[in-house]
Amino acid sequence: MPVLQSETAKIRQFLKSRLQTDVTSFRGYESEWQNIRDLLFRTAEHGESNSALLLGTRGSGKTTLITSVLADLLPEANFYRNTVIVYLNGLLHTDDRLALKSATAQMNLENAVDGKVFGSFAENLAFLLECLKAGDKKKSKSVVFILEEFDLFCSHHNQTLLYNLFDVAQSAQAPICVLGITARLDVIELLEKRVKSRFSHRQIFLLPKENDFEGRVELFKILLKLPTDKEMKEYNKTFKPIPEDALQNQELPLLRRVFDPRSFSFSTKTISQWNKHIDALASNPKVISVLQNMYDYEVIEATFKTFLFELVCQLHDDNPLLTVEEVQAQGQQFEGDDKIHILCGLSVLELCLVIAMKHHSEIYDRDPFNFEMILTRYNKFANASTTMQGIERSVVLKAYEHVKNLELIAPISNASTSKVQKEYQLHRLLLTYGQIGQAVVKSQNLPTEVCQWAQSSLI
């Protein structure tokens, strides 16, 4: 292993940066990828106006798809000389005014100087529309509007921006392509009827494959293996560098600081040794069962990448290889219950209060309670016990407040709660009985009396 040991830092760096910043390589979904590429290509080449929506669950690689299509198209001079890419995000451009300013600056229109747009909202809208109207299908540049978080644009006033963009796409003006990206499947129902009529109803769904566990194991290998010389040659052939002047747009965040595997180099021996090790790891039944559990819970790639990232972080000089135990421990950590952790960290008094709340909720079928009710129940126990006697009311109240601040209990939201004294405010328990039971079993140094009291409310 000395070969690997000397290069562990480099391997870790390579794997980490590939997991985090590799936005251009996209796996699967060939037909969807081709569909989007054709759409953008036709907009740029033939001056055709289009509109489309890209739908898929969160983390399914919608933005990565767009980025990889752009990374494929932008190296061609024919494409980047004839198109302007405008990127808008519903979380950043929270109203039409901001979105318009940003669009004007990105299109570099006459009323924008060095990225600063002047004039009022109404003037900006009128000017942008005039510009697009003055455009011609044959002679002017195509504009590609990428609207991320498309559902948030639907909540803008009158949906003015969407109406105008779709309207330009449906009339003989400058050629534009409107590409919406959203996770909501019912986004079309949010559109107003005239906006809906102008939208071309092209919807492209990004759905993960059904029951594709082999694919997940394959992905585990792909994301952890080092590229061999042959693969690097192929990479060099397919990925052309994006020229400088194609990335003039300052506000396009998609293609900034893209991962480049060519900046790393490993010795052939390292590569073969590491890849062999990963192959062995991926065929280990224990690792497979961890992966299966994760896959049963969540099929999207994004969380799986987080999992691998935390795994890769554990590599260091003394520990140059990933072990099965590490994978299992990481899997355990993902499946753990945080609330039980919090409960285990409580003091005995606080845990007694939680147990009293549990008894109250069990008896009265999750009715809300206040401090006095819990105090009475707790006092009954404390008076009979040998360890919990002599705790003052104010200390118990402090413990109650602490439990409340940890949001293990939540006040019932009523308008009148603010006027009620804090001892009498009604709360509900935000834990299941199973969680409390597990916490009692797990927490150390708990007096036996408390453990017994947790079992039954009779004293």
Partner 1 sequence: NVEAVGTPKRNIQLSNIVEEFAEGRRTSKVMHETPKKATVEEPKTPKSARGRPRKSTSTVVEEYKSTPKSATKLKLIRSGAIKPNVQARDAPVQISPDDQLAVARERLHVSAVPKSLPCREKEYSEIYNFLEGKIIDSCGGCMYVSGVPGTGKTATTTAVIRSLQVLAQEEEIPTFEFVEINGMRLTEPRQAYVHIYRQLTGKTLAWEQAYNLLDKRFTTKAPRRVTTVLLVDELDILCNRRQDVVYNLLNWPTVPSAQLVVITIANTMDLPERLLMGKISSRLGLTRLTFQPYNFRQLQEIVMARLTGTSAFDAEAVQLVARKVAAVSGDARRALDICRRATELAEEQSRKVDKFVSVSMGHVQKALGEMIASAKVQTIKCCSRMEQLFLQAVTAEVARTGIEECSFLGVYSQFEALAAFAGVTVPNPGRAIAICSRLGASRLLICENSRNDIYQKILLNISSDDVHYALQASSLI
Q: Scanning residues 71 to 110, which ones bind partner 1 (CB under 8 A)?
A: 78, 81-82, 84, 96, 107-110
Would you say 209 or 276 has its CB closer to partner 1? 209
Contact range with partner 1 by CB under 8 A, out of 134-142, 240-248, 257-265, 272-280: 134-142
- Asked if residue 180 lies in contact with residue 53, where contact means CB atoms within 8 angstroms, the answer is yes
For partner 1, the binding residues in 285-314 under the rule CB under 8 A are 295-299
Task: Give the pairing of strands 427-429 and 142-148.
Answer: unpaired
Alpha-carbon distances, residue 446 vs 63, 351, 360, 408 (angstroms): 51, 9, 21, 20
For partner 1, the binding residues in 240-279 under the rule CB under 8 A are none
| DSSP 8-class letter at 410 | E
List 91, 193, 325, 390, residue binding partner 1 (CB under 8 A): 193
Confirm or reject binding of residue 437 to partner 1 (CB under 8 A).
no
Confirm or reject binding of residue 131 to partner 1 (CB under 8 A).
yes
Q: At what angle do helices 213-224 and 285-297 cross, to 10 degrees?
A: 110
Contact range with partner 1 by CB under 8 A, out of 22-30, 117-125, 241-249, 392-400: 117-125
Element (H, E) at 205: strand 203-206
| Distance in angstroms (rounded) separating the CA atoms of residues 261 and 265 | 8
Task: Give the pairing of strands 409-411 and 427-429.
Answer: antiparallel
For partner 1, the binding residues in 147-186 under the rule CB under 8 A are 158, 160, 163-164, 167, 170-174, 183-186
For partner 1, the binding residues in 210-239 under the rule CB under 8 A are 210-211
Would you say 198 or 359 has its CB closer to partner 1? 198
Confirm or reject binding of residue 433 to partner 1 (CB under 8 A).
no
| DSSP 8-class letter at 228 | P
Contact range with partner 1 by CB under 8 A, out of 194-202, 235-243, 260-268, 369-377: 194-202
CA angle 89, 92, 93 (to 5 degrees): 75
| Distance in angstroms (rounded) separating the CA atoms of residues 394 and 345 | 21
Confirm or reject binding of residue 197 to partner 1 (CB under 8 A).
yes
| 264 closest CA partner among 229, 240, 216, 219 | 229
Would you say 4 or 55 has its CB closer to partner 1? 55
List 11, 19, 65, 143, residue binding partner 1 (CB under 8 A): 143
Residues that bind partner 1 (rule: CB under 8 A) add up to a total of 92
CB of 456 to partner 1, least distance (A): 21
Confirm or reject binding of residue 442 to partner 1 (CB under 8 A).
no
CB atoms within 10 A of CB 207: 12
Contact range with partner 1 by CB under 8 A, out of 136-144, 223-231, 322-330, 414-422: 136-144
For residue 440, with 0-12 CB atoms within 10 Å meaning exposed, 13-18 middle and 19 or more buried, which class applies? buried
CB of 210 to partner 1, least distance (A): 5
Task: Give the pairing of strands 427-429 and 50-56.
Answer: unpaired
Confirm or reject binding of residue 5 to partner 1 (CB under 8 A).
no
CB of 399 to partner 1, least distance (A): 21
For partner 1, the binding residues in 337-376 under the rule CB under 8 A are 337-340, 366
Confirm or reject binding of residue 121 to partner 1 (CB under 8 A).
yes
For partner 1, the binding residues in 37-76 under the rule CB under 8 A are 38, 45-49, 55, 57-58
Beta-carbon contacts of 182 under 8 Å, excluding residues fewer than 6 positions away, are: 53, 54, 55, 149, 150, 151
| Distance in angstroms (rounded) separating the CA atoms of residues 72 and 70 | 5
List 116, 230, 237, 419, residue binding partner 1 (CB under 8 A): 116
